[in-house]
Amino acid sequence: MRLFLVGLGIIMLSGAAQAFQRTTGLLASGTPFETRWYHYQSDEPGPCVLITGGIHGDEPAGYLAARQIADWTVKRGTLIVVPRCNPPAIEVRKRRVPGLEGVEGDLNRHFPPPDEASVVTDEQAVRIWDFLRKHDPDVLLDLHEGYGFRAAGSKSVGSSVITHRRNDNAQQAVMLKAVNQEITAEDRVFVPLFSAVKGSLVRAAAEQFEVDAHILETTTKDQSVSTRTRQHRRMVAAMLADLDMADASTGWLVCPDVSEMKIALYDGKGSGSATQSRRFEGVLENSRVVRVGAADIHEGCLDQFDAVIFPGGSGSGQGRTIGPEGREAVREFVDEGGAYVGVCAGAYLALNNYDWGLKLIGLDSFDRAHWRRGKGMVRIELTSEGQSVLGRNEQELEIKFAQGPLMVPSETGSHPTPEVLAWYRTGIGKNGADPETMVDTPAIVAAPFGDGRVVLFSPHPEQTSGLHDLLVTALGWAATEPELVPENIESDNAKDLLPVTEGAHDHVD
């Protein structure tokens, strides 16, 4: 039987095999540093492990991984996580507390705190230090990021495990072995480092309380956030396994009991910039959005989510990066009832006429020779079905276009008939493209695929002020249980529903 007392900050699960208590609360309540902590107490005695992240605000993989780990359970002992230790710095994505320079603003140079807090940084250090003393952990893992690969000769501590006490070297080796199993480039492997910097939480905990303490450093250079969070999770999972605490939850990117919509956002190669990922996270702030990469998809992570988004960037880059195994995993996810939303490159990826594509919908890309037709605002017209699905009363909207696909009925295969939710009524033509070619082709489409639903946006609602809700409502619609799925209709019949123009060519992006 499951009993959720979320309002009281307590979640309990009881049964024949397991009983535990999960508690959550606030640190620095009522201050700019207010942040949530998570406490999981198993019914079996064992070590206490404390995970901290976000001490530096420009190291997102640390606090994002810590938030994912906060959903984990352990089969014995206690797991405590404070994902976002420095909210003001995280908010502005800067290393230091806003308004403070040098050592004064660096939260990880103020442990142990001075006897009398003199600056705002010291005040937060006192709160974190008191929290650590109260829970008296056996192990402390502080999640950070460097800017360069130490193994490649960088002066940065990126891709390392920093261990302060020599008698904790065995635990360091366990984490290094686990994370390096997935790294083939010698200049990117994680390396051991020793003697944490003076003033750091890890050094203070090791010296003052003789805690088994480590700083886990990933590298921001040329690596997606999903790759770096995965590396953090692998190291933490290895430590928990070494302590005989790990259970199946170390494979979770999100807790199954989360009440919000759970959305996987692809951010691997071909997905565009980190700014784009943050934009999607901001638009979908009322959902649990987790960035995922090819390795996560290969492991079956999509089963944990209600929907997956493939964003702008390069459709071929995304499809080739996830590879045949990943493409099949996405198809199975949608076929079994998951929702797929593709935007621009993610729409290309879902089409039927690319060897690297997902083939989720009976549509092909058209005028592929002029895919670089330019960027700008265009006018679209919602159909009556589009108004219903997207929750809009007006018919005509101005939306940003950035070289998304022009879609026509597929020349091969058999798919359910797609529904056009919006048509392009104006076009863009640069680099030799004819703007009239866009006019009266689908801008937004939807279709069933197995037990799931597919929605494709050729333009960018997430980049258009006032139209963010189109993405939100489309996800909500796609993630609900579809009505009776129509029988497959051969693509020849589907051609009667959409305009067809001659002369498709290979698409390069």
**Each residue's pLDDT tens digit, 8-34:** 233 344 333 445 688 999 999 999 999
Kindly state the tokens that stand for 239.
Answer: 């430590």
Which residue's structure tokens are 């302060």? 164
Paired residues of 94 in beta bridges: none
Output the pLDDT for position 274: 85
**Pairing label, strands 307-310, 262-266:** parallel
Output the pLDDT for position 455: 98
DSSP string, 420-468: EEEEE-S----TT--GGGTTTSEEEEEEEETTEEEEEESSBGGGSTT-H
**Pairing label, strands 442-449, 452-457:** antiparallel
Output the pLDDT for position 117: 58
- For residues 41 and 19, what is the distance between their CA atoms, to the nearest angstrom? 9
Helix (H, G, I), strand (E, B) or coil at 265: strand
Contacts with 167 (C-beta within 8 Å, 6 or more apart), sequence order? none
Average pLDDT over residues 149-165: 97
CATH code for residues 16-251: 3.40.630.10
List C-alpha distances in Å: 487 to 163, 206, 361, 447, 450.
61, 65, 14, 12, 10
Residue 486 has pLDDT above 60, yes or no: no
Among 53-67, 317-331, 407-421, 444-458, name the one with the lowest average pLDDT: 407-421
Total number of residues shown for the chain: 509
Contacts with 56 (C-beta within 8 Å, 6 or more apart), sequence order? 62, 86, 89, 95, 96, 106, 107, 108, 144, 145
Taking the domains of the chain in order of start, what are their residue ranges?
A: 16-251, 262-369+405-422+441-497
Residue 183 has pLDDT above 80, yes or no: yes
Coarse DSSP helix, strand, coil percentages of the chain, rounded to the nearest 5 percent = 35, 25, 40
Signed CA dihedral, 95, 99, 103, 107: sign only: negative
Architecture label for domain 262-369+405-422+441-497: 3-Layer(aba) Sandwich (3.40)
List C-alpha distances in Å: 403 to 37, 348, 376.
43, 10, 9
Paired residues of 408 in beta bridges: 364
CA angle in degrees (0–180, nearest 5) for 374-379-385: 125
- Select the more confidently predicted residue: 162 or 369: 162
Percent with pLDDT over 70 in the chain: 89
Paired residues of 409 in beta bridges: 363
What is the 3 state secondary structure string of 196-257?
A: CCCCCHHHHHHHHHCCEEEEEEEECCCCCHHHHHHHHHHHHHHHHHHCCCCCHHHHCCCCCC
What is the tens place of the pLDDT at every residue in 69-118? 999 999 999 999 999 999 999 999 999 999 999 999 999 999 998 766 56
Average pLDDT over residues 236-251: 98
Residue 498 has pLDDT above 70, yes or no: no
Is there a shared CATH topology between the 16-251 domain and the 262-369+405-422+441-497 domain?
no
List C-alpha distances in Å: 395 to 294, 380, 382, 444, 495.
38, 8, 5, 13, 24
pLDDT band at 2 (very low <50, low <70, confident <90, very high): very low
